[in-house]
Amino acid sequence: MNADIHTLTGAYALHALSESERAAFEDHLAQCAACRKEVSEMRETAARLGSAVATQPPESLKQDVMASIRRVRQLPPDEGPIIPLRGRKWPLRVTALAAAAAAIAAIVLGSQVIRLDDEATRAEQRLAEVSDRYETVADMIAARNTKIMAAKSGDMRATVVVSRQHGKVAFLPKEVPEPGENKTYQLWLIGPDGAHSAGLLADQDTPVIADTIAGANVLGVTVEPEGGSEQPTTEPVMTMALG
C-alpha cells in the first residue's frame, strides 16, 4: 500500500477530505483491504465519539419519521448501484462496462419482467436503439471517477450520474408524478453562489444532461411554471448531494 495515501484513512473516516481527495482515496480504498479494515474500525470509533454527544430529540420527531417512512419504498437487496461506483470492490475499468450495460438495461426494461425468449429478443433490439440515445450517459458511466446514485423523494425516482471526467451530470427519470397543469420540473445545480438552471424535464423517458458548475454540489428539482424560471420559485421536491 502507498504509505502516503494510507495516512488519509483518518481524514476519510471523519469526512474531512475535499471532494477530489475523497475520490482519489476511494479509488485507492477499492484496492486496499487493509485500508478498508482501518476505515471501518475508525468509523466504529467515530460512532462512539458521536454517541458521547447523544441528545434527546423532540418527541414529535418519532411521529414525523414514522409518517415519512410509510411513504418511502425500501430498496430490495442488490437492486443495483446505489453506492457510488467508487465504493466497489473491483477496479473501475472492469465494473464500469458492466454497470453501463446494467444501467442501460434498467432504463430499457424498467419494471417489466421478461419471461419469454422473443420478449428478450425484442428487449435486446430496443436496448440497441436506446443505447444510442443514452450514448452520452453510457460514456459518462464508463469514465473514471463516475458516481451513480439512486434518488427518491416522494413519488419521484431517478438515477443521477455524475462524471467528473466529462464535467457532466445526467438526471435519468424513473418515476415522475405529473407536475400539474402548465407546470414543469426544472433541475438546478446549487452551489455557494446560488442555483443555476440545469434544464427542464421534458418527460419521464428523457434524461437531462447538464454541464457541472464549479462548486455546485447539490442537485435540486423544483416545480416551475411551463418554460421554467430564472431562479427556483418553489421548494425543491428533490435534492441530492452530488459530492
> Contact between 124 and other proteins (CB under 8 A)?
no
Helix runs in the chain, H state only: 3-6, 9-13, 19-29, 33-51, 60-69, 92-109, 117-133, 135-142
Q: Which set of grid coordinates corresponds to residue 8?
A: 488519509
What is the residue whose three cell numbers read 421554467?
228
DSSP state of 69: H
> Contact between 7 and other proteins (CB under 8 A)?
yes
Strand-by-strand arrangement of the 183-191 sheet: 194-200, 183-191, 218-225, 238-241
C-alpha distances in angstroms, 38 versus 49, 88, 235? 17, 17, 41
Which of 33, 44, 128, 131 touches other proteins by CB under 8 A? Answer: 44
Each residue 172-201 as x (binds other proteins by CB under 8 A) or -, in order, gives ------------------xxxx--------
> Contact between 235 and other proteins (CB under 8 A)?
no
| Residue 89 or 122 having the CB closest to other proteins | 89
Which of 33, 34, 61, 94 touches other proteins by CB under 8 A? Answer: 61
CA 182 to chain centre: 28
Q: Count residues contacting other proteins (CB under 8 A)? A: 57
> Contact between 214 and other proteins (CB under 8 A)?
no
Residues that bind other proteins in the complex, under the rule CB under 8 A: 7-11, 13-18, 37, 40-58, 61-62, 64-66, 68-70, 72-78, 82-83, 152, 190-193, 217-218, 241, 243
